[in-house]
Amino acid sequence: MRYSPSVGQELRRIVGRDYVIDNHNDLRIFERDGSIEGAMPDAIVLPASSEQVADVMFVAAKNRIPVVPRGAGTGLSGGAVTIYGGIALQMSRMRRIIEIDPIAQTALVEPGVVNQELSLVAARHGLFYAPDPSSQKACTVGGNAAENSGGPHCLYYGVTTNHVLGMEVVLADGSLHWVSGDAPDRTGLDLCGILVGSEGTLCAITKVKVRLLRVPPSVATLLAAFPSIETASQAVSAVIGNGIVPAALEMMDNVTVGAVEAHYHAGYPTEAGAVLLVEVDGIAESTRELMAKIREILAQSSGFAMREAQTPAERELLWAGRKGAIGALGRIKPNYYLHDGVVPRSRLPQVLSAVGEIGIHYKLPVANVFHAGDGNLHPNILFDMRDRGVLHQVEEAGEEMLRAVVELGGALSGEHGIGLEKAAFMPWVFTEDDLDAMQRVKAAFDQQAILNPGKIFPDATRKPVRLAGRSGLALEAKWW
């Protein structure tokens, strides 16, 4: 079945006339998320409540129309891209913080609440929401739960799934359920655990109950320069090897530092081969002591020009630089292809030198900015879509980088999800039996396969990672 004007009528009755968009040209504007591929939905639907989500889903199920939930569209693996068309369920009208319980230290929020907004509001009670993706200024708590997002501070605090206590979800048949809830333990079969990180393939999230943490009384943030990525990687291993787990431990290479400094003027040393941003928090005495020890270890691994943030404003500026790093790369080339792999920490130097070589081989600039502490690398291949033949090169280079990650014992994704981009690579790490088991879970939740089709699982009918989809990029391809 296909989307049709009469389906549009039905949807309008549910969410209101102004909240269904199905004219062709406006839909074009929704064809992409933060990744590089695009495809047009048949309709954008903006529900205002859980009940409306359920009703929309019911209509979609009846007509077997694909449904793709969408938060802010900042995802980096194509999770919100509607490659089979259908309904993009945009959650941005559902942005109420329903309740903050300062005693239980929890918050109940709608999925469209912006990650940073939650921490801003929780700050009144001395609390914060720990998972902090770099896009936290814009990305949503619902999108974070769907992708099981990470962030710089997840090294110490854990990723999204460690902070979700329960969720209200709508399943593919339009039924509304709560999974888990108030208790800190998820008992029985952990359905919430399955749904967090399911990338919109098993349910649409309509409410999230999250854990909030007490804002640490003291935070120390240190910026250290290193002559090369290798020395910086060794320093990372040395810190962790000494039994220290900082709140965050981030690395940026020379290319990234240059771009970041151009926008933020945060005092990043542009002459360094790589920099580390290290943060520890806790009570003042212990952060002081820990930081002194870290400085010592970093100095032994040829760290230099170490600078500790003296004021909250300085700290904020250092972090603004790190969190805006990916966007700042636009200063070098207008397009990036951002990869996300994770390797055992000890393999970082090897995988980074492999990444560097691949870049040189393809004559493509590569910028590295990543969560070094947990071995989660983010090589960014920089290019200009308007250059002839570049897309194919980028695609091949990206695939080779991921291969290097997997060969060194790593995984396909650290935090961005598999989505569209890496679905075809799943057989590299999973056997047919593994994938079959996952498919059966999928079928248990979504028999008709209408929820975010074409994601996570390799799709035989589709070419792997088409950088040029039905988007503006593809249209440019006609010029060649």
Instruction: Catalog residues that contact other proteins under the rule CB under 8 A.
Output: 21, 23, 25-26, 28-30, 32-34, 44, 46, 72-74, 90, 92-93, 95, 112, 114, 116-117, 120, 135, 137-139, 260, 262-264, 324-331, 334-336, 363, 384-390, 393, 472, 475-476, 479-480
From the CA atom positions of the chain, what is the Rg in Å?
22
- Minimum distance from residue 337 beta carbon to other proteins (Å): 11
> Please, are residues 411 and 429 in contact by the beta-carbon 8 Å criterion?
yes
| CA–CA separation, 220 and 126 (whole Å) | 18
Assigned token pair, 353: 């030198």
Angstrom distances, CA of residue 290 to CA of 128, 154, 155, 294, 302? 23, 19, 16, 6, 19
- Minimum distance from residue 270 beta carbon to other proteins (Å): 16
Cβ closest to other proteins, residue 217 vs residue 472: 472
- Minimum distance from residue 327 beta carbon to other proteins (Å): 3
Cβ closest to other proteins, residue 36 vs residue 179: 36
- Minimum distance from residue 128 beta carbon to other proteins (Å): 15
Strand-pair category, 304-308 with 218-226: antiparallel
| CA–CA separation, 292 and 287 (whole Å) | 8
168: β partners: 178, 207
Q: Give residues with Cβ within 8 angstroms of 360, minimum separation 6.
A: none
Cβ closest to other proteins, residue 104 vs residue 474: 474
Q: Give residues with Cβ within 8 angstroms of 23, minimum separation 6.
A: none
| CA–CA separation, 433 and 105 (whole Å) | 41
- Minimum distance from residue 146 beta carbon to other proteins (Å): 15
Cβ closest to other proteins, residue 51 vs residue 387: 387
Cβ closest to other proteins, residue 23 vs residue 311: 23
- Minimum distance from residue 8 beta carbon to other proteins (Å): 16
> Please, are residues 58 and 9 in contact by the beta-carbon 8 Å criterion?
no
Cβ closest to other proteins, residue 334 vs residue 409: 334
Cβ closest to other proteins, residue 278 vs residue 326: 326
Instruction: Please give the single-letter amino acid code of residue 35.
Output: S
- Minimum distance from residue 323 beta carbon to other proteins (Å): 8
Q: Give residues with Cβ within 8 angstroms of 463, minimum separation 6.
A: none
